[in-house]
Structure 1
Amino acid sequence: MATANSLDSDTEDPQRGLTDRNRWSRLQKAESHENIFSDKSENFTCITSVSPEEAMKWGESFDKLLSHKDGIEAFKKFLKMEFSDENLEFWLECEEYKKCQTNKQMDDKAKSLYEKYIQMDSPREVNLDFATKEMTKKSIEQPELTSFDLAQTKIYSLMEKDSYPRFLKSSVYSNSLSGNQRIASFPTGRRRSRSFTVNDFQQLDSDSNIWL
C-alpha cells in the first residue's frame, strides 16, 4: 500500500497534473469514509421502484438517464461507490443555479458553487482544467445564469464518457433491468473511521463484556 508520503510526493510533482491530485483526493475520501465495504457492489443496489422497461431507457443515452429522477438516484448510488458523486452533485446544482430569480440569489449561489466545487482544494472539488476554472472565476465576478455553463458542460462530458459506461455494466443498473430492486444492505459489523480514539477502545472493552 502506498504511504501518505509517497502519495504526497506524487501530487507535488507539477508534471503529474490533475490526474494524480484527483487520485489522491479520491484515496483520501475512500480512507476517511466511515462506511468502507469489502464488496461495494453487493452493499449498494438499486433502491428505486422503477420498472425494468423504464430502466432500459437509461441505457439509450446519458441524457435519458438524467431526465428520470430514479435514473439520477441510481446513478448517484453508483458514483458514491466510486467516490465521484461530487460530479453529479455539481451538475445538479448548476441546473438549480439557472433557476435563480434575482441578482442576490445569483451572487450567493455562484459564490457557493465556486467555493464548494471549483476553488482549489475545495471540499467537493470537481475535475476541471485550469483554463475552465479561471474562466468560471472571472465569469462570476458579475454572475449571469450562464456563468457555469462551460464548467457544467465539461463535467457532463466527463460523466458521459467515463462514469456512464461503467454504470451500465454495474450491479446497480443490472438489478434495475431485472426488476431485482433491493434496499441497500449494510454489514452488521461495527463501522470504523481510519483512526481509533480513546472512546473507541473504551467501547471495545464494553463490547467484550458481551462474551463473558
Structure 2
Amino acid sequence: MESPLLLFPQLNISASKDKSYYKVMKPAHKEEANKASKPGAKQKRNRLSLLLQKTEFHEDVHLGKAANLKKAASVSPEEAVKWGESFDKLLSQKDGLDAFTKFLKTEFSEENIEFWIACEDYKKSKTTHELLPKAKTIYETFIQKDAPKEVNLDFHTKEVTSQSIKQPLISTFDAAQSTVYKLMEQDSYPRFLRSDPYLNLVQGRNPSRPAMRRRSRSFTVNDFQDVRPDFTIW
C-alpha cells in the first residue's frame, strides 16, 4: 500500500508523511544548531593567541623606548657632572648640548636652543655676502611676529634687532641671543639638572636597561569572563 501524500499547493510541492522522513531530518537540524551556538576549540585557541600577542606588544614598546636611549648611555658620570658646573660647560660639550636639546623638547621650548645655535653659526660667517641670507632666515624663523619658532623677546630687543636686519652685521643678533641665553640659564637649565635623565647619568645608571618588571603571562579574570570551561578540547 502506498504512503499517503500531503499536498502544499502554495509551494507547488508534495511531501510524504512517512515517519522515517522526520526521523532523518529533525536530528540533522538540531545538530547544526548546536554546532553554531557552541564555541569550538579553534575559536578558544585564537582568543588565547590574541591575548598573548597583546602582552608581547606592550613588552616590545618598552624595549623600543629603551633602545632610543643607548646613545646617552655612552656619557660617563664624570662628564655629566661637569655639565652641572655651569651652563657654558653644558653647551660647550656636544653630548651636553644634545641632552639639553632633548630635554627642552619635552618642555616644548626647543626653539630657544635652536635660535642660540643658529646665532652661533651666523657669527661664523666669513663674508658679508653670507650675512644677509642667514640674517633673513633667522629673523623670519625666530624673531618676526608669528614666526614659526618665535622666541620670547622684550619689545626693545626685538625692535633693535628688526632695525639691524636691513644692514646685518656680525653683532646683529647679539642682544637677542643674550636674552634667550639668560632665559635658558635661569629657567630651563636648573630644571634640566633636576631631571631624571640627567640624574641617571650622574649616578651612573644605564638608561638603556631600565629596571622594568616583566609582565606576567598569567591572565586576569576579566580576560576570561566570557569563556566557559570545556575540558573536551584539551
Taking structure 2 as the reference length, what is the TM-score of the superposition?
A: 0.58
Residues in 2 aligned to 1:180 and 1:172: alpha-carbon distance in whole angstroms = 9
Change (3 A) 1:182 1:131: same
Residues 1:92 and 2:117 aligned together: yes
String of CA shifts for 1:81-140, please: whole Å, max 9, x gaps. Answer: 000010000001100000111222100000000000000110000011111111001112
What amino acid sits opposite 2:158 in the alignment?
K
**Alignment partner, residue 31 of structure 1:** none
**Alignment map for 1:12-23 (pairs within 5 Å):** none
String of CA shifts for 1:65-93, please: whole Å, max 9, x gaps. Answer: 11100000010110000000100000011
Residues in 1 aligned to 2:208 and 2:138: alpha-carbon distance in whole angstroms = 31
**Alignment map for 1:45-194 (pairs within 5 Å):** 47-48=71-72, 49-182=74-207
What amino acid sits opposite 1:146 in the alignment?
S
Secondary structure of 2:114's counterpart equals: helix
Judge which range, 52-61 or 175-184, deviates more: 175-184
Residues in 2 aligned to 1:87 and 1:144: alpha-carbon distance in whole angstroms = 21
What amino acid sits opposite 1:111 in the alignment?
K
Residues in 2 aligned to 1:109 and 1:184: alpha-carbon distance in whole angstroms = 42
- Structure 1 position 175, deviation (Å): 1.7
Greater relative contact order (Cα 8 A, min sep 6): structure 1 or 2? 1
Residues in 2 aligned to 1:167 and 1:136: alpha-carbon distance in whole angstroms = 29
What amino acid sits opposite 1:122 in the alignment?
A
Change (3 A) 1:55 1:105: same
Residues in 2 aligned to 1:184 and 1:70: alpha-carbon distance in whole angstroms = 20
- Structure 1 position 179, deviation (Å): 2.5
Residues in 1 aligned to 2:70 and 2:159: alpha-carbon distance in whole angstroms = 38
- Structure 1 position 181, deviation (Å): 4.1
Equivalent residues of 1:47, 1:181 under 8 A apart: no
String of CA shifts for 1:150-172, please: whole Å, max 9, x gaps. Answer: 00000000000000000000012
Equivalent residues of 1:133, 1:151 under 8 A apart: yes
- Structure 1 position 52, deviation (Å): 0.3
Change (3 A) 1:63 1:155: same
Residues in 2 aligned to 1:80 and 1:145: alpha-carbon distance in whole angstroms = 29
Residues in 2 aligned to 1:136 and 1:181: alpha-carbon distance in whole angstroms = 44
Unpaired runs of 5+ residues, structure 2, are 1-64, 211-234
Greater gyration radius = 2
Residues in 2 aligned to 1:97 and 1:179: alpha-carbon distance in whole angstroms = 37
Identity %: 58
Unpaired runs of 5+ residues, structure 1, are 1-41, 186-212
Residues in 2 aligned to 1:121 and 1:179: alpha-carbon distance in whole angstroms = 43
- Structure 1 position 47, deviation (Å): 3.5
What amino acid sits opposite 2:203 in the alignment?
S
- Structure 1 position 183, deviation (Å): 5.3
Pairs aligned (count)? 144
Residues in 1 aligned to 2:115 and 2:109: alpha-carbon distance in whole angstroms = 11
Runs of 4+ in 1 over 6 A off after TM superposition: none
What amino acid sits opposite 2:155 in the alignment?
F
CA root-mean-square deviation: 2.1
Taking structure 1 as the reference length, what is the TM-score of the superposition?
A: 0.64
